[in-house]
Copies of this chain bind each other. A is one copy, B any other.
Amino acid sequence: MVKHLDENTEAWPDHVGWRLWQASRAWQAAFVAAMRDAGHGWMTEARAALLGHIGRRGTPQSALIDRMGISKQAVQQLVDGLEGEEIISRVPDPDDRRARIVVHTQKGRLALRDADRIKREIEQAYRARLGTDRFDALKSALEALALPQDGKNPGDRGG
């Protein structure tokens, strides 16, 4: 099946970017599959990321844009989708008639509770797989990478 392997072994990419991509995709697949099994078939990783940024009292859409580092239109599309699934809802901001505040619905809070549990389970599986030391080192390194460097937000341009 893999008869050409010998002559191509040298070609395997082994840089951090590729590994990050692989790991990110694997995590995503595991999470979405577990959520689907828990009855939340509408969940995707992008949606999970957005949901995690919404506070208890709700969060203005503009704040989500600032935090997520993607364009406001991307945020809007995610919010549109989640609103359609009745996971969140948009309420007017009493202090600013332009703004809309994104809040969890009851269904959204239930989903979020399951999501948190599942994330913890996946993290524990990873910890078991890597060993505590290596897992903690992974987390530490990823957190350091997440710190703003030149920090350009792609959404800051258009308007």
Query: Residues on A close to B: CB < 8 A?
Result: 1-2, 4-5, 7-13, 15-28, 31, 45, 48-49, 52-57, 59-60, 63, 66-67, 69, 119, 122-123, 126, 129-130, 134-135, 137-146, 149
Q: Quick one: given A4-B59, A8-B63, A56-B7, are A142 and B28 in contact (CB under 8 Å)? A: no
The SS class assigned to the A binding surface is helix
Inter-chain contact A11/B149, CB cutoff 8 Å: no
Chain B's nearest CB lies how many Å from the CB of A96? 10
Q: Quick one: given A21-B28, A144-B130, A145-B126, are A57 and B16 in contact (CB under 8 Å)? A: no
Inter-chain contact A49/B28, CB cutoff 8 Å: no
Q: Quick one: given A12-B53, A60-B4, are A141 and B134 in contact (CB under 8 Å)? A: yes
- A122 to B145, alpha carbons, bound, how many Å? 12
Top 7 nearest A-B pairs (CB, nearest first) are A8-B55, A13-B52, A137-B137, A19-B142, A138-B141, A17-B27, A11-B55
- A139 to B52, alpha carbons, bound, how many Å? 27
